[in-house]
Amino acid sequence: MQEKIKQLRQLTGAKPRANLGFYPTPFYKLERLSEQLGINLYIKRDDFSGMSLFGGNKVRKLEYLLGDALDQGCETVFTYGATQSNHAMQTATACRRLGLHPILYLNAYVNPDENDIRANMLLDRILGAEMHVIQSEPGETEQQTEQRCFQTGKEHVARMRQAGHKCYDVPMGGSSHVGAAAFADGYAELMEQCQQAGVSPRYVFCATGSGGTQAGLVAGHHLVGDRAQVVGIAVSRKNDEYEAYCAELCNKALAWLGSDARVSAADFTVDRGYYLPGYEQPSEAASDAIRLLARTEGLMLDPVYTGKAFAGLLDWVKQGKVKPGDTVVFWHTGGATALFSEKEIVGSINREG
């Protein structure tokens, strides 16, 4: 396994990478919660990835994405997301660090109140990112608004390119094959830490949204060949094609890294049981998970991603899918700024008791 990890590190190490975060991110056992749940629960703190206080999984992706952008001589970076997108905020932050110009196309799932701009949108403002907010029009579905957001952004990219500007176009969530490849490297990082700690996880849980994180972790797992199962907990509605889509993303990342290995949809475990009522819509189970982790470990999760993912992990333990004594890693992907966002996103977490 050591040799496989080394080979994987050689593949990822050959790619251009912008230095944005602090790696390896911390990895340790949650002693109190492990005892309470009767399992060996470890946490991978990608919420501590840097650059600013507000880290998260997008920093890992951006090291490769913006490394690629600089390699191609780009000066402007476009990306897309919800108004409270962690990815958009991290992209703006990383662009500033590297002297690139960030342009964000933000889709308003929750319409921002101009007199009370909060959380990631506030950070985008402080960072001085060029922001284009696409509000939903009467009769339009959320999906249609999102499509219009992508479309309007792409037209802007085309205009800029026509005028001779080199632009790097980052898809929503940073989930291109380049962004996903970052998590193959992240998986190698985790395996090194597991070896040091003398543990071999049975499960690695993460939140899955645009798919790049899980695609990369599965790529890493496939190359290392350890016994873990990567479990993605969906944070938004996913159609039946999602596993196949993730496998394709994973295979593109593997090819980009210069590996001949390939995976299939069957290599992806995606649990759709915990995202309701919907993306950026709070659930009672996520609120309970946030309170539990805060009160047993002093650790913060968020209502949109990690709260729902952790609620999934807890339910797998409760249902006996995770067995007593199993070693489980929770990949903390960040996102705690959402605790300070609009009340529609925060939900009932502020109630007493």
Q: Which residues contact 210 (CB under 8 A, 6 or more apart)?
A: 87, 171, 172, 173, 174, 175
56 binding ligand PLP? (CB under 6 A): yes
Binding to ligand PLP, residues 145-184 (CB under 6 A):
173, 175
Q: How far is the CB of 211 from ligand PLP (least distance, A)?
A: 5
Pick the stretch among 54-62, 63-71, 117-125, 130-138 that binds ligand PLP (CB under 6 A).
Answer: 54-62
Residue 59 engages ligand PLP in binding (rule: CB under 6 A): no
Strand order in the sheet with 27-29: 27-29, 40-45, 327-332, 203-208, 229-234, 269-271
Here the tokens at position 336 are 């705690």
Minimum distance from residue 304 beta carbon to ligand PLP (Å): 7
Among positions 179-238, residues that touch ligand PLP (CB under 6 A) are 207-214
Q: Which is nearer to ligand PLP, 21 or 209 (CB)?
A: 209
* Whether 52 is catalytic: no
Site for ligand PLP in 75-104 (CB under 6 A): 86-87
Min separation Cβ 195 and ligand PLP, Å: 25
Do residues 119 and 88 make contact, with C-beta atoms less than 8 angstroms apart? no
Q: Does 305 bind ligand PLP (CB under 6 A)?
A: yes
Query: Do 199 and 327 form a contact (C-beta atoms < 8 A)?
Result: yes
Which one of residues 25, 49, 57, 259 is an interface residue with ligand PLP (CB under 6 A)?
A: 57
Those residues with Cβ within 8 angstroms of residue 286's Cβ, 6 or more apart along the chain or in another chain? 274, 301, 303, 307, 308, 310, 311, 347
Nearest-approach distance from CB 49 to ligand PLP, in angstroms: 11
Q: Which stretch binds ligand PLP (CB under 6 A): 12-20, 66-74, 105-113, 301-309?
A: 301-309
Task: Give the chain's radius of gyration (CA, Å).
Answer: 19
Backbone φ and ψ for 166, nearest 5 degrees, come out as -80, 115
Q: Which one of 34, 49, 52, 85 is the catalytic residue?
A: 85
Q: What is the DSSP string of 289-353?
A: HHHHHHHHH-----TTTHHHHHHHHHHHHHTTSSPTT-EEEEEE-B-GGGGGS-HHHHGGGGS--
Pick the closer one to ligand PLP by CB: 85 or 327.
85
Residues in the site for ligand PLP, rule: CB under 6 A? 56-58, 86-87, 173, 175, 207-214, 302, 305-306, 333-335
Q: Which residues are catalytic?
A: 85
